[in-house]
Structure 1
């Protein structure tokens, strides 16, 4: 059977639903959909509208060369988004993404900002008003958006790219920080009214205001809610009260090399700030506000230590911070999202749970939490329909990519229309579980290719998830087992110690001891899988990325049971990693010096006998490329033949980051991985992917 999973080129061309936003009246939802560009080297994003009751067909709202993202609604139902598209009302405009508005009553989208450094994201919108808060970077010395524009022009004219840092960190995940620092800016949207006519200067090609160095008068000048913030406007969530008068924000307070997040209330009109919750050694994050504006909910997360992981607590309080109390005190899960229900009597939360990502209802009165959805899916982007109390969300699983659904109060789920139809999945999926030596239940998903049987058992790929605080429970476009099934492989997706969704004690089993229970759990559940007569226990391989790459390296140094191992974006020498990653203090906090030494894979390089495919992106700042460079050097030092030949391979992407995101690079990644696996698992001749030259 030919499917999009049979061809990598067809696979990357599948449209992808990335986010969902629900209109204030609950009638419409807007999806951000990514599609392959015409030259097949990137993804273009557009906004699509669907009916939230399941009727009608999807309708495309936007179309531009630069694409659109970050959709949100104003209180009147206009659609906001961020885009780098050209502004037809300006003869000359900054080449940077801006905030746009698409009127609910129809008409062309119009640009609402003209910031020299652009708009980073839509931070919050008011449920009953036209206030929007955006995140945007300004240069540290800029006291206004006009000064920022002038300073940026001076840098550009002089071809200056240097960045001067006064605090740690200097990088984050996949990008360098600076030269700008984040600010939160507020403005009022026009609410569907026509904008004044713009008269351009004939002499300069710019608006008359801009010619004088003044922000264009036909645009509402954003108000800076976080002046001179250094990096204190880095946030861990924010929300506007329904009337748009107060912003509740989780702002970063710098502390030596790290910091903590505190909860503040900012008066949108004056910028006056009131501290609500600020505790040493505690993050206060992810604020949400009830629909009547009277209550807020948030996460209280004490810092982890090397002794044990800390819990994530859900708290509610009055909007001014009074009457604060914890809810769901016996609920041993870590929330991934929070929102108040329509009546404000429950918190609707999502969380990893037993290999899934269901929706939970958490009563404010102290009653026991209730699992609302019980299917095998993971839910994200959960929004509440104000008219009915139903929920609208995206959900996905290992057999179906993200798609919009409606969830009734009783948990019944209805599919909504989508412009990104899902191809039929291959093979079958089942759960496997085993009992570890300490009595813990270790489970995972096993995907089997069509035709796997006792007569024709399938080779097995053990895929190890990243994180490590993570769970294999949702569709991934980057690590997609459907592509392996199309090649005839079975894929095991286990959740070993340190995985989320099984309680704090399960995480603690691997704390400060990555090479202990996480490793033995992986071998135990692999043993369980290969006991099946439809799995070929003599043809197995292991793969992992990030923490999964760390574990792939650890596996390579401690067992020869696998025929091949793929180590992507991996940690190799923990002492080196901690000093070069973008968040050093965290890793020094969760490991003891002894734990770092005992759990570092590089100490076991001499014991490696299994061929490794090492993969890394040069722009990976979370796990810097130096980890794989050192791994590659030490593999050659200890295992290369006299003539320099080696069974190991190294695939380097100079312009990719932690994930390898460009479509054709993803194709090269899969082609190389499957060629390497075929060589060692199937004893086929090595076939170098054509695009590698």
Structure 2
């Protein structure tokens, strides 16, 4: 993907942080059962510019009409799903017209009639509702609601919550592990599944939610699907494993009786993302093997009969890519699969040569775009695929892919991918302040390493751009899709070239590429990063004398490792980073994952803190106090040891070239709009001082503009 223009680049939203945070952001896609309506969600700034509020917009599947807004409230709407009758279901905490208004409203289940008219509330729960699932052929809907453990129903849950509030009690009594997840505490309530019939809810009434599952943590972060007839709920189900660990199995629950039976229970794998076939006979799912210190995960698609007959099977075991999402074809004879692939994320077609459960399968790439496609929906006649497409050239936008033309272009295995067509979007793609190209090199062990490179418009041999190496998190991931949290174009607008590499451990390059860095984070991932940086610096439009490195999460770990192993960069920014692996492992929110992946010896060999004395590069440390994935102790210890023990310590009077940007109320990600401005302003000021050589202290004087 190379975009270039010799014309001067006009002013873009990336030139001003206020303009940037005000850009609309798309997420999610829902297609009606008849294929005539397509709905997405758009986030935009609230009136105070301190938060984002979401609204539902309709997109024309034919691409002829402009997008139109469907909902509008201060609380916003999300999680759009079409019912069998064509009504649009969604969740919102907007005030219920029928309520007394005594309490702050929780997210309720709303319905916007297909025939037109005002939206109405279908169901409520004391702790709020979410996780909407709608049967394709029946007016059956399932929702999730978090309920306190001793409550036998929603009425009892309401009374218990009121008692806790009145007594100012927020303590949580745990009987198992984990107790936290990413950015929030688990408990005291936990999700339960409920079911309702939308045809039974009269105007002005509320649905009687029928409880399908009881108390316990088995549905925390679960994935679920309804059979087309609404008779069966298929869901992941957490079970305990030795060593305070857990894994996900797959169960089927009768929506009339609540009877539960196990479909897939593999002691060596985690199960996720179930999808029931349109004919109601099969369940496709994603299976990921449980890791060990010597074996990375193997991620594959799986298939099992919904009635429980026959053993589960792995699909396309010889396909060297990891499926991310699965979508059935309307005929139930194939699946649309998304997967990371060489810095992209195409849609693939998996077809059963002899029907589901019969014989081998064929996998073909459907989409030709240099982009990632998500939220895949397929037309009821299989003529088209609808999805959200994003890349580092554009944020998410709705697209249509001509699936019928692809299938008709030749026999299976010989068809050429087709490009997607952009549909009129509720949020137009912003102008970019530069161009996007690719860089690649060969590592010392012969592996190919590639990256995206975002270049400012004015970069040339006569005016080369300073270089920022951005290291992705994960580590099992890829720089392949637009990011609002780590957006390179804000840096490009200030004249930087931004390198976005996929080193060892990155996805989309095959199992062996992941294995190269497994259990040895400081080895191949580091040498890959240095090799691809060398390749970028060899360009005549890049200034190799002015460089910096940045990373967050695993990328922050790598930034710390880089700091202790080379002084080639003028500055390093480390966000939400792992510093001392022996302390990180037991305190992260899901410590059993870490215990599976790293032995104590691996921790010791690859812990960045051991090399603090070799750090001679100014560092900006960023951390949020509510980060449970990489606890704040990592940032605090890093900060203290930088000042006391690094090769660039604080002076005797306490002054230092290092900086610490701390967010008391943010987590692993910096999400609120004004804090995002602080994050970018702080990073840009720090880099300007060390890379662009503005006067000493100039960076610190920039921050009062955003900090007050």
Would you call these one fold, judging by a TM-score over 0.5? yes
Equivalent position of 1:635 in the other structure: 642
Deviation digits for residues 26-53 of structure 1, max 9, x if unmatched?
1111110000111110001100111212
2:273 paired with 1:286: yes
Instruction: Answer whether contact 1:235 1:249 (CA < 8 A) is retained.
Output: no
* Alpha-carbon offset, residue 416 of structure 1: 0.9
The normalised TM-score by structure 2 is: 0.93
Instruction: Answer whether contact 1:260 1:281 (CA < 8 A) is retained.
Output: no
**CA distance, structure 2, for counterparts of residue 626 and residue 528 of structure 1:** 36
Equivalent position of 1:617 in the other structure: 624
Give the counterpart of 1:99 among 92, 97, 109.
Answer: 109
Give the counterpart of 1:428 among 427, 435, 440.
Answer: 435
Equivalent position of 1:302 in the other structure: 289
Secondary structure at the residue paired with 2:223?
A: strand
2:474 paired with 1:462: no
Equivalent position of 2:329 in the other structure: 341
Equivalent position of 1:215 in the other structure: none
2:218 paired with 1:232: yes
**CA distance, structure 1, for counterparts of residue 100 and residue 271 of structure 2:** 45
- Aligned positions of 1:174-193 closer than 5 A: 174-190=183-199
2:446 paired with 1:439: yes
Secondary structure at the residue paired with 2:199?
A: coil
Equivalent position of 1:692 in the other structure: 707
Equivalent position of 1:206 in the other structure: none
Gaps (5+ residues) in structure 2?
Answer: 1-9, 354-359, 407-417
2:48 paired with 1:39: yes
Query: Structure 1: which 4+ aligned runs deviate by more than 6 Å?
Result: none
Deviation digits for residues 108-159 of structure 1, max 9, x if unmatched?
111122211111332x210111111111110000011111111111111112
Equivalent position of 1:416 in the other structure: 423
Instruction: Answer whether contact 2:570 2:691 (CA < 8 A) is retained.
Output: yes
Equivalent position of 1:387 in the other structure: 381
Instruction: Answer whether contact 2:226 2:233 (CA < 8 A) is retained.
Output: yes
- Aligned positions of 1:103-252 closer than 5 A: 103-122=113-132, 124-190=133-199, 194-196=202-204, 218-228=205-215, 230-252=216-238
Secondary structure at the residue paired with 1:370?
A: strand
Instruction: Answer whether contact 2:13 2:431 (CA < 8 A) is retained.
Output: no
Give the counterpart of 2:677 among 667, 670, 677.
Answer: 667
**CA distance, structure 1, for counterparts of residue 180 and residue 220 of structure 2:** 13
Gaps (5+ residues) in structure 1?
Answer: 197-217
Give the counterpart of 2:345 among 334, 357, 363.
Answer: 357
The normalised TM-score by structure 1 is: 0.95
Equivalent position of 1:202 in the other structure: none
* Alpha-carbon offset, residue 506 of structure 1: 0.3
Deviation digits for residues 171-201 of structure 1, max 9, x if unmatched?
110111112011111111138x7514xxxxx
**CA distance, structure 2, for counterparts of residue 234 and residue 173 of structure 1:** 13
* Alpha-carbon offset, residue 93 of structure 1: 6.2
**CA distance, structure 2, for counterparts of residue 687 and residue 316 of structure 1:** 56
Equivalent position of 1:213 in the other structure: none
**CA distance, structure 1, for counterparts of residue 107 and residue 302 of structure 2:** 36
- Aligned positions of 1:255-654 closer than 5 A: 255-256=241-242, 257-323=244-310, 324-365=312-353, 366-409=360-403, 410=406, 411-638=418-645, 639-654=649-664
Instruction: Answer whether contact 2:112 2:120 (CA < 8 A) is retained.
Output: yes
Instruction: Answer whether contact 2:346 2:368 (CA < 8 A) is retained.
Output: yes
Deviation digits for residues 316-351 of structure 1, max 9, x if unmatched?
232223343322121111111001112111110001
Deviation digits for residues 347-399 of structure 1, max 9, x if unmatched?
10001000000000011222431011122110000011103431110000101
**CA distance, structure 1, for counterparts of residue 490 and residue 419 of structure 2:** 31
**CA distance, structure 1, for counterparts of residue 422 and residue 352 of structure 2:** 29
Secondary structure at the residue paired with 1:287?
A: strand
- Name the stretch that deviates more: 279-288 or 436-445: 279-288
**CA distance, structure 2, for counterparts of residue 649 and residue 91 of structure 1:** 50
**CA distance, structure 2, for counterparts of residue 172 and residue 659 of structure 1:** 13
Deviation digits for residues 416-472 of structure 1, max 9, x if unmatched?
111101112221111111111111100011111011111000000000000000000
Equivalent position of 2:411 in the other structure: none
Secondary structure at the residue paired with 2:251?
A: strand
Deviation digits for residues 657-690 of structure 1, max 9, x if unmatched?
1110000110111111000000000111223212
Instruction: Answer whether contact 1:135 1:184 (CA < 8 A) is retained.
Output: yes
RMSD: 1.3
Deviation digits for residues 505-532 of structure 1, max 9, x if unmatched?
0000000000000000000000001001
Instruction: Answer whether contact 1:78 1:102 (CA < 8 A) is retained.
Output: yes
Deviation digits for residues 247-303 of structure 1, max 9, x if unmatched?
111111122422111111100010001111112122122111111112211122220
Deviation digits for residues 5-62 of structure 1, max 9, x if unmatched?
1101001101111111111111111110000111110001100111212121211111
Secondary structure at the residue paired with 2:171?
A: coil
Equivalent position of 2:5 in the other structure: none
Equivalent position of 1:199 in the other structure: none
* Alpha-carbon offset, residue 235 of structure 1: 4.7
Secondary structure at the residue paired with 1:460?
A: strand
Secondary structure at the residue paired with 1:47?
A: strand
Instruction: Answer whether contact 1:235 1:252 (CA < 8 A) is retained.
Output: no
Equivalent position of 1:212 in the other structure: none
Note closer, same or farther for the CA distance 1:183–1:489 as it changes in structure 2 (3 Å cut). Answer: same
Instruction: Answer whether contact 1:341 1:389 (CA < 8 A) is retained.
Output: no
* Alpha-carbon offset, residue 564 of structure 1: 0.3
**CA distance, structure 2, for counterparts of residue 227 and residue 135 of structure 1:** 12
Instruction: Answer whether contact 1:289 1:339 (CA < 8 A) is retained.
Output: no
Q: How many residue pairs align between the two structures?
A: 669
Deviation digits for residues 593-627 of structure 1, max 9, x if unmatched?
11111000000001000000000111110011110
Give the counterpart of 2:692 among 662, 679, 682.
Answer: 682
Deviation digits for residues 519-573 of structure 1, max 9, x if unmatched?
0000000000100111000000000000000000000000000000000000000
Instruction: Answer whether contact 2:582 2:600 (CA < 8 A) is retained.
Output: no
**CA distance, structure 2, for counterparts of residue 396 and residue 322 of structure 1:** 40
* Alpha-carbon offset, residue 92 of structure 1: 4.0
- Aligned positions of 1:55-94 closer than 5 A: 55-92=64-101, 94=103
